[in-house]
Amino acid sequence: MSKEMRKIISVVLVLIAFRASAQDPRFSQFHLMPTYLNPAMTGFFDGDVRFAAIYRNQWFSLGSPYGNTKYETEGGAIDGCIKVGKPSGDYDRKQDYIGVGGAFIRDVAGDEAFTSTDGFINIAYSKSFGYKVKHSIALGLQGEVMSTQFRNGGAVFPDGIVENIGKNNIKFDATVGIRYHIDFMKRLNMYFGFAYSHVTSPANNFTDISSDRLYAKYVAHAGAQIAIRDRVNLLPSLLFMAQGQAIEATVGANAQYILGDVYSSNNSISFGLMARFARPQGPDALIPNVRLEIYKVTLGVAYDVNVSSLSHGTKSVGAIEVALVYIFKHRKSGVPTNASCPQW
């Protein structure tokens, strides 16, 4: 098979894959990029400013007939909160706030580099209520600028095939989300969230004869911190997504061990296992992961073990994913006034 023919096949495969899915990039450690998942999570952390970065390399065991095949996703985010009102007393460990933030996600797929780069601006408002048992509910809005490009890399096309597929597509989109949080005096700390993405159903036009719309995405997610012993917590989490014909669910839990003084230290290490199921392929991946939190810096590493029908070709290699989160907290008083929530 000639080099030109291999390039043609690569282009066709990437286009077919895009047309079949029309879906967003995903992360196994979704809890470490919460503002990408749901704009209502903006400002929802114990601190003043949060910085997050994530990198995912998928199917790196696959080779190309004439070069390396890239399936990489990286992202970054920053968010913070503006406190509204005043705490009513020592037991009021939370108060109302306005969360603001921004993020970007860049996704590269295939030898011919189908690339999408998305920029986000989030705003959320959180209302707290309750006394010893604390509740809060937040509504979030997200504005998105989406840029998609298919760089053909000099691929050769036979006569009769449209060649101007390398143009950029720039679109605007929006997401709405809601989040509910309840804290039973740190013995049980849990939240539920829902988001509706791609309100405008933007289209990708890579050729003059075809157009693909990005399907609306529905996201439901939840997390909890359950105190088992003084130094041991259980961190279950759940993510459900539906987009077009695709349905995906990720469920699992981490065991967290508190380091240092259990009453004053936020340092911890946790180990966990997640499982992802998807339609139409069924069981998709087992995801062992480890997370280390030291002095408001969180490092998370996850590895996808592919168990789907693709495992013969991928040799069970799914993806390696690394995430880093830093939370800045300026303590002006001994009474915490922001949302009390762990790193889910």
213 is a domain residue: yes
C-beta neighbour count of 28 within 10 angstroms: 27
Judge whether 343 lies within some domain.
no
CATH of the domain at 245: 2.40.160.40
Q: Is residue 338 part of a domain?
A: no
220-232 average pLDDT score: 92
Cα separation of 157 and 8, whole Å?
7
Tens digits of residue pLDDT in 160-177: 454 555 567 788 999 999
Query: Which residues form the domain of 220?
Result: 3-328
**Would you say residue 335 lies in a domain?**
no
Matching residue, tokens 């997610």 = 221
Total domains in the fold of the chain: 1
What are the pLDDT digits (tens) for 259-288? 987 665 679 999 999 999 988 777 889 999
CB-neighbour burial class of residue 254 (10 A; exposed 0-12, middle 13-18, buried 19+) = buried
Buried (b) or exposed (e) across 85-123, using 16+ Cβ within 10 A?
eebeeeebbbbbbbbbbbbebbbbbbbbebbbbbebebb
Q: Is 200 exposed, middle or buried (0-12, 13-18, 19+ CB in 10 A)?
A: middle
Beta bridge partners of 291: 270, 300
Euclidean distance between the first and final Cα of the chain, in Å? Answer: 50
Q: Residue 322: inside a domain, yes or no?
A: yes
Residue-wise pLDDT for 77-102, tens only, equals: 999 999 887 655 544 445 899 999 99
The lowest-confidence range among 54-63, 187-196, 235-244 is: 54-63
Residue 16 has φ and ψ, to the nearest 5°, of -65, -45
Does 340 map to a domain?
no
Q: Does some domain include residue 341?
A: no
Residue in 145, 91, 344 with CA at minimum distance from that of residue 237:
344
| Domain-located, residue 59 | yes
Note the pLDDT tens digit of each residue in 288-317. Answer: 999 999 988 999 999 999 887 665 555 556
